[in-house]
Amino acid sequence: MTGQICKKIENKIRNYIFINRNFSEYDKFQWKNAEEIECIRTQKLKNIVKKAVDFVPFYKNLDLKINFENFTLDELKKFPIINKQMIRENFKDFCSVKFNGKVSHTSGSTGTPFEFKVPYESDAIEKIVANRAWGMGKDYIYKSDDPIIVLRTYSPKAGEPLYKISGDYWYLSPFHINESNLALYLSVIEKSKAKIIRGYASSIYIFTLLLKQKNIKIPQIKTIVTSSETLLPVYRSVIEEYWGLPVLDWYGQNERTVTVQQCWAGNYHNNDDYGIVELSDKNEIIATSLNNYVMPFIRYNTGDKAIPLDGKAPICPCGRHLSIPFKGIEGRSDDILIKVDGTAIPTANFSTAMKNFSDLRQFQIIQDKDRSVTLKVVLDNNSSQYVNLIASEVYRRLGNIKLNIEKVPQIGRDMKTGKIKVTIQKGELV
């Protein structure tokens, strides 16, 4: 126990030192011109590639013949695309024999947690980049140490308060957003003096519906940031309309390969000093970390799908020259439905149809191994005719699938993460 405490203290000190030394450099990076950004990320990629081919067995054995003397971003194309399964089956071969780090893992939302390694300074880099991203609003620029309301992850035990203060973070439980707790939540927000709320898209959406029902505005809040879930169109429209603010959506993964953040103008900016984004021919996000030399993720297929740009990336009115790799996130890897004919479609595609039902407040799709679907719905209109209309839309999207529609008073949250998952896949779909 004493050893664990010492290690935690050591990590906190290490992160504190790293942040103090590097915060200014990271903050200035977003305002550099395109040529400077290209030069810096090319050098960072070169460093990662060098460490990979020299010290990581998987890459060393490929004999890639990298041209280090005239290195450009095109050298990246010499690497094969990798995925979770390859790393699981060859874990040691993907680990550096020279550089060590800490073991991390995903939540295992698809059934099996995914284990990997990251550098010790990874937490500090994450905090710096996140702070920069939260400052991409227009009327309020978030600064490190500003208070922030967090509507995610906090799961109080029985008898514990519904909020927790940790440094500048004021956590509100996403499990208890209801009318009886509204006064407490409003009091905590006011006391915090925070001008920014970040959280799961579903949490902020439900909180917004409650405020809308009670006709309560919170002018104190100037920035809204969503993350960790696909921001459904209906969530965005309801939140933006009621708050009168653009939602700044953040995309990232537990593997910490790339992070992409919306600015106030609505464009998704890649953090070009953090990772490199490519899109496959299926619009899957292929990510390369520029910071993980312990277990290099080079051309890693995240399984998440993006909405490609219509043409050339726009010049953003926010003034940043960070690259704009796509228009938005179509669906995360665990947001996929399988049609009767075996075709995979993102939940976002399905959600587009559901938003046409004005009396459908929330829904959740549960797909079993045999591809049968249970659709849980929270309705303002409980008539059988209305339910039949919803069913016909499901069949239109998924084919003649086995369907069960359950009318429920509310959609339950994942007890581990606090997320409301729009899609639940039970095991590996056949």
Which token pair is 40? 């810096």
DSSP 3-state of 368: coil
Using pLDDT thresholds of 50, 70 and 90, give the confidence band for residue 110.
very low
Report helix, strand and coil shares of the chain as percent, to nearest 5.
Answer: 35, 20, 45
pLDDT at 346: 57
pLDDT at 343: 65
Task: Residue 396: count other Cβ atoms within 10 Å of its Cβ.
Answer: 9
Give the mean model confidence (pLDDT) for residues 380-406: 87
Each residue's pLDDT tens digit, 132-161: 998 999 888 888 889 999 998 887 888 899
Element (H, E) at 227: strand 223-227
d(CA 202, CA 420): 6
CB of 84 within 8 A of CB of 90? no
CB of 298 within 8 A of CB of 79? yes
Each residue's pLDDT tens digit, 228-269: 888 888 889 999 999 999 999 999 988 999 999 999 999 999
Q: How far is CA 74 from CA 33, 62, 68, 194, 410, in A?
A: 21, 17, 12, 44, 50
Using pLDDT thresholds of 50, 70 and 90, give the confidence band for residue 109.
very low
Q: With CA atoms as reference, report the closest residue to 194 among 160, 153, 229, 149.
A: 149
SS3 readout for 57-103: HHHHCCCCCCCCCCCCHHHHHHCCCECHHHHHHCCHHHCCCCCCCEE
Angle between helices 201-214 and 233-243 (to 10 degrees): 40
Each residue's pLDDT tens digit, 288-343: 999 999 999 999 999 888 999 998 888 999 999 999 999 998 876 656 677 777 76
d(CA 126, CA 251): 13
DSSP 3-state of 160: coil
Give the mean model confidence (pLDDT) for residues 68-82: 97
pLDDT at 334: 58
Task: Residue 422: count other Cβ atoms within 10 Å of its Cβ.
Answer: 25
CB of 264 within 8 A of CB of 137? yes
Q: Could you please report the per-residue DSSP string of 302-357?
A: EEEEEE--SSSPPPPTT---S----SEEEE-TT-EEE-TTS-EEEHHHHHHHHTT-
Using pLDDT thresholds of 50, 70 and 90, give the confidence band for residue 125.
very high
Q: For the whole model, what pTM was predicted? A: 0.81
Query: Is pLDDT larger for residue 153 or for residue 173?
Result: 173
pLDDT at 11: 80
Phi, psi dihedrals of residue 225, rounded to the nearest 5°: -120, 125
Which token pair is 14? 């290490």
Q: Which residues pair with 75 in a beta bridge?
A: none
Q: With CA atoms as reference, report the closest residue to 132 among 141, 119, 122, 120.
A: 141
pLDDT at 185: 96
Integer-rounded Cα Rg, in Å, for the chain is 22
Query: Is pLDDT larger for residue 80 or for residue 14?
Result: 80
Structural domains of the chain, ranges and CATH numbers in brackets: 336-425 (3.30.300.30)
Rounded to the nearest 10 degrees, how much is the dihedral formed by the CA atoms of 7, 8, 9, 12? 120
- Does the pLDDT at position 71 exceed 90? yes
Using pLDDT thresholds of 50, 70 and 90, give the confidence band for residue 430.
very low
- Does the pLDDT at position 362 exceed 60? yes
Q: Tell me the pLDDT of the chain averaged across its residues.
A: 88
The residue to which tokens 């169109």 are assigned? 233
d(CA 348, CA 224): 21
Each residue's pLDDT tens digit, 8-44: 788 888 888 988 898 889 999 999 999 999 999 999 9
d(CA 56, CA 294): 9
Q: Which residues pair with 289 in a beta bridge?
A: 275
